[in-house]
Amino acid sequence: MTVVGTPPPLPVRDKAGAREQGQGALSPMLTRLADERATGVLVREHGTLHLTEGRVVHAESPLAPGLDVLLTAHGALAPGDWRQAADRAGGPAGAARLLLDTGRLSAGALELCQLSALYDAGYFALAPSSTPGRFRYGTAPRVSVLRPLPVTALERETLRRRALLHRIFPDPVTDSAPLIRADPVAAPPVPPRQRAVLERLDGVRTASDIARELGRKAFHTLVDVRRLAAAGLVSPGPTAPGPAPPPLPPVTDPDIALLKRLRNALEAL
């Protein structure tokens, strides 16, 4: 984990207590930042967590639809209202607060959507990473939820979601791969929610693409996809063939080359 900026000294903690508290922790650095009551931005491979005094106030991930999608997809807010608020507030960061202050969005609807978006993006942000993250101290959050979320609550919910997906279908390949439709001989009936997912399978879209197109939370779409995979109705698309290997150099027989040199020498006499 790379730390950007000048961090305050970390508190000295009892090692036994730290091990006890850290059981099941998804990010030891995040746990330390929560104990430190740090404010800033934790950037990980699949998402970003914004902290204020050690609590999560915003999360975002390219794999999860943003707050604007969740608010406008099902009628909680007209798309035009969001665009107008974003223009007036100078971007999406202040749009939600402006809509709340002007009465175009109720506090209950905003809190529900904010927490849904936070848990959704936080699930991906806490996914296993192949690269180290970095923390920027003192950076103000882009969007602040009405009720900051303890780190332990986000980690606990993320672990619960992982376990749920594993129970439904243990192979995670369908979470991120382009998906195609499989048609078994005796296909089971599919509820309307899952049918909407099936209708968008084209070998190009991933589960996250479908979630964004349908205006649904990405994790809930992962649940639908894994249930469809367990029923034999969905599978990862074929991987694109790699580049053709370069042609092999011509094989030269050393005996033939020697004979040619001898022939050329005799002809020159």
**Average pLDDT score, the chain:** 83
CA gap 59, 55 in Å, rounded: 11
- Compute the Cα dihedral for 115, 116, 121, 122 and give only its sign: positive
Helix, strand, or coil (residue 2):
strand
Instruction: Identify the CA nearest to 135 among candidates 248, 46, 3.
Output: 3
pLDDT digits (tens, 9 = 90+) for 83-124: 888 888 877 767 888 888 888 888 888 888 889 999 999 999
CATH domain 169-236 topology: Arc Repressor Mutant, subunit A (1.10.10)
**Low-confidence winner among 62-66, 138-142, 249-253 (lowest mean pLDDT):** 249-253
pTM attached to this predicted model? 0.78
CA gap 20, 65 in Å, rounded: 35
DSSP 28-89: HHHHHHHHHT--EEEEETTEEEEEETTEEEEEE-TTS--HHHHHHTTSSS-HHHHHHHHHHT
Supply angle C-alpha 14, 17, 23, rounded to 5: 135
pLDDT mean over 177-187: 86
pLDDT digits (tens, 9 = 90+) for 33-55: 999 999 999 999 999 999 999 99
- Check whether 253 has a pLDDT greater than 70: no
- Check whether 13 has a pLDDT greater than 60: no
Q: What are phi and psi of 116, to 5 degrees?
A: -65, -45
- From-to residues of CATH 1.10.10 in the chain: 169-236
Burial of 110 (0-12, 13-18, 19+ CB in 10 A): buried
Instruction: Identify the CA nearest to 73 among candidates 30, 20, 109.
Output: 109
Reported as a pLDDT band with limits 50, 70 and 90, residue 222 is very high
CA atoms within 13 A on the CB side of 234: 34
